[in-house]
């Protein structure tokens, strides 16, 4: 489903959603149910009963925005609508809304990674846990879009579908080794963006020639290999970490595998050396990239990639308690995951309060005016 309008007004996009109920069962308008759920999730609610309780307690406030002539639906009605809502259409609503809110991706690092909703499985029905692939803007800390991984597939098939609907022009897409695929690199180039893709043994030829080059180059201190180098040093909480990046031009070396990748310009080696007290550990990773030979930019992109783990997945698990949610019937878990993304984006975009996401959710449940400030960001 492709929406005809790209605006920052979420409500305009929500109007494009089809109501999954038959007409005789539409006592409560779809817009009212969706607005109730969004407001409740922003305010810390996690299940259908809590959303119902929120609605009963905040009915007067909700009527500032929509009529709610029939009051608040019971939790079973809320659950039924959410599990039958078209997930593809809802995801497209989210992505189109975000295109209107965050129009420019030029120069921004966009990590893409997957996360499993651990308790969304249903053994009785043979339903495995839902796995979602998300695109995240490292600079703004917001989700740009998401795609569910099909039960009998993996991230390799879901990532191209997600890339197809995202606005990526001028951005730097980072993906771990699972997404290091020629077709994915081609898709990113087609979207007029750059990529930094982690290389591991799943791309055996590319991995071996990259590893061999850098191993030989290190033995002579890069005397015979032209590279660009950059390093950073962090010293905090009793932990010293030195990150080093060497970048080599694939066109100045013999790279039979790397030159087959769309838009590929360079390969990179990133070395992280961590010292805690008397213990030192070292990790070496390799990357293929369409970026120019700038170790500073590439090292920054590699480091920014982990923001999707720390600023998205961790927040969803700890603050939104996503992994504890037992909502699993039909498409309810997937649709509620999109609701969490909407709530997180609104909370993170709010600049009126200097507070953590957890504190903002608490303030939203306690303070009607602050919640209204958050909701006004939807339009």
pLDDT at 127: 61
Place of tokens 């007029």: 192
pLDDT at 261: 94
Question: Could you count the other beta carbons within 10 Å of the beta carbon of residue 14?
Answer: 18
pLDDT at 124: 58
Residue whose C-alpha is closest to residue 160's, from 198, 190, 136: 190
127 in Cβ contact with 192 (< 8 Å): no
Residues 6+ apart with CB under 8 A from 4: none
pLDDT at 333: 86
Report the C-alpha gap between 116 and 110 in whole angstroms.
20
Each residue of 210-241: pLDDT tens digit?
999 999 999 998 888 889 999 999 988 788 99
For 155-159, the CB contacts below 8 A with 24+ separation are: 155/114, 155/131, 155/179, 156/181, 156/184, 158/114, 158/133, 159/112, 159/133, 159/184
Tokens of 171: 């951005």
Measured in degrees and rounded to the nearest 5, phi and psi for residue 85 equal -65, 135
pTM of the predicted structure, to 2 decimals: 0.89
Rounded to the nearest 10 degrees, the angle between the axes of helix 75-84 and helix 48-57 is 120
Residues in the chain where the model's pLDDT stays below 70: 1-8, 25, 103-104, 118-129, 151-153, 252-254, 326-330, 378-379
Residue whose C-alpha is closest to residue 20's, from 107, 82, 62: 82
Report the C-alpha gap between 166 and 111 in whole angstroms.
13
204 in Cβ contact with 257 (< 8 Å): no
- What b-and-e string marks burial along 87-108, b requiring 16 or more CB atoms within 10 Å of the CB? beebbbbbbbbbbbbbeebeeb
Tokens of 143: 């989700």
pLDDT at 327: 66
| Side-chain-side CA neighbours of residue 58 (13 Å) | 26
């Amino acid at each position: 489903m492709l929406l005809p309008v790209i605006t920052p007004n979420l409500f305009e996009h929500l109007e494009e959603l089809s109501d999954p109920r038959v007409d005789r069962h539409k006592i409560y308008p779809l817009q009212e149910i969706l607005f109730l759920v969004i407001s409740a999730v922003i305010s810390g609610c996690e299940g259908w009963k809590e959303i119902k309780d929120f609605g009963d307690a905040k009915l007067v406030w909700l009527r500032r925005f929509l009529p709610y002539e029939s009051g608040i639906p019971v939790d079973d009605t809320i659950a039924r609508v959410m599990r039958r809502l078209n997930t593809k259409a809802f995801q497209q609503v989210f992505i189109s809304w975000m295109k209107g809110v965050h129009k420019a991706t030029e120069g921004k690092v966009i990590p893409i990674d997957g996360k499993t909703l651990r308790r969304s499985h249903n053994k009785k029905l043979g339903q495995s846990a839902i796995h979602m692939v998300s695109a995240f803007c490292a600079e703004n800390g917001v989700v740009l879009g998401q795609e569910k991984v099909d039960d009998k597939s993996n991230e390799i098939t879901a990532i191209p579908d997600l890339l197809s609907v995202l606005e990526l022009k001028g951005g730097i897409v980072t993906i771990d080794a699972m997404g290091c695929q020629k077709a994915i690199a081609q898709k990113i180039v087609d979207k007029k963006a750059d990529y930094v893709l982690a290389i591991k043994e799943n791309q055996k030829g590319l991995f071996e020639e990259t590893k061999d080059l850098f191993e030989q180059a290190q033995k002579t201190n890069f005397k015979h290999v032209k590279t660009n180098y950059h390093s950073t040093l962090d010293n905090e909480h009793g932990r010293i970490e030195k990150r080093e990046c060497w970048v080599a031009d694939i066109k100045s070396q013999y790279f039979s595998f790397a030159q087959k990748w769309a838009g590929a310009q360079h390969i990179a080696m990133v070395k992280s050396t961590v010292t805690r007290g008397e213990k030192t550990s070292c990790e070496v990773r390799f990357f293929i990239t369409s970026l120019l030979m700038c170790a500073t930019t590439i090292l920054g992109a590699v480091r920014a990639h982990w923001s999707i783990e720390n600023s998205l997945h961790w927040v969803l698990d700890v603050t939104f308690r996503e992994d504890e949610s037992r909502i699993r019937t039909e498409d309810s878990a997937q649709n509620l995951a999109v609701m969490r993304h909407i709530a997180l984006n609104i909370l993170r975009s709010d600049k009126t309060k200097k507070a953590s996401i957890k504190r903002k959710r608490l303030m939203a449940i306690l303070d009607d005016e602050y919640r209204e400030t958050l909701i006004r960001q939807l339009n």
